[in-house]
Amino acid sequence: MKIAIFIDGGYLDKVVKNEFGIHVHIDYEKIAKELSLGKEILRTYYYHCEPYQSNPTTSDEKERFSKAQKFHSMLNKLPRYEVRLGKLQCIKVSSGKKALILS
């Protein structure tokens, strides 16, 4: 039996940050292997979104975006990994405040 693994990258980022408070190296191949419980992996899907970029884009936003792209590219090179990206959009809500929406 082959299985598919689904990883919510945003949630994983928050959990790691809350638990460790620092950047931690994660072995994504090992995570998939551990989650598979010895079953053959059809594919591991990693869901996330690229960081928001305002218009005009700030240098910090450009740097975060570039790092995220490199990271997602690295994940796509892992055996049987596929990165699926959403898009953050900034919209005004009825109160006039801005909100980031994942689409």
Domain count for the chain: 1
Query: What was the pLDDT predicted at 18?
Result: 92
Query: What was the pLDDT predicted at 28?
Result: 96
Residue 46 belongs to domain spanning: 2-102
Query: What was the pLDDT predicted at 55?
Result: 84
CB 51 within 8 A of CB 61: yes
**For each successive 10 residues of the chain (103 residues), what is the average pLDDT?**
96 91 88 95 96 88 94 96 88 65 58
